[in-house]
A = this chain, B = another copy of it.
Amino acid sequence: MPVMTREDVEAFLEREFPQIHHGGRTYTVESVGPMEATMRCAYHERHVRPGGSISGPTMMALADLALYVAILAQIGPVGLAVTTNLSFNFLRKPGQRDLVASCRLLKLGKRLAVGEVTIYSEGEDEPVCHATGTYSIPPR
């Protein structure tokens, strides 16, 4: 079971990573659960590419953050976990809507945590992006 609630994680991010809200509040933790978390990225015109599509880097930042939040919720506010690997498949053009990212942890070891993230345009059934990633967890 997670050791932090959704509110705990939000407060931690607010305090430790205020820069993720640079330019306006964008990322929200929707839920945390056993080995999982869901994040939302609010639609904002500064994420937009020509043709109206949300940029790849916006989706990559969201996936990295969803993975971090899922790990944080399970192990508590360690702060120093660092991403070692991220892999993305870009599947479809996202619409001009919020993005929702569902993260599921595949492994939560002593030294490494691995998870996958599926990103949807809000209200759509088919994913726009799929990611897998690894975090290195500092000795506790």
- Residues of A in contact with B (beta carbons under 8 Å apart): 16-17, 19, 22-23, 46, 48-50, 55-57, 60-61, 64, 82-92, 106-107, 111-112, 114, 116, 118, 126-127, 130, 132, 134, 136
- What residues of chain B lie closer than 8 Å to A46, measured between beta carbons? 19, 22
Taking CB atoms, residues of chain B closer than 8 Å to A85 are 85, 87-90, 134
Cβ of A63 to closest chain B Cβ, rounded Å: 10
Name which residue of chain B comes closest to A61, CB basis. B57
Known: A91-B107, A92-B107. 15 other contacts (CB 8 A): A16-B50, A56-B86, A60-B60, A60-B86, A84-B112, A84-B114, A85-B85, A85-B87, A87-B132, A89-B106, A89-B132, A106-B130, A111-B136, A114-B130, A130-B132
- Which residue of chain B has its CB nearest to the CB of A23? B23
Q: A61-B57, A64-B56, A136-B112 are in contact. Are A49 and B17 (CB under 8 A)?
A: yes
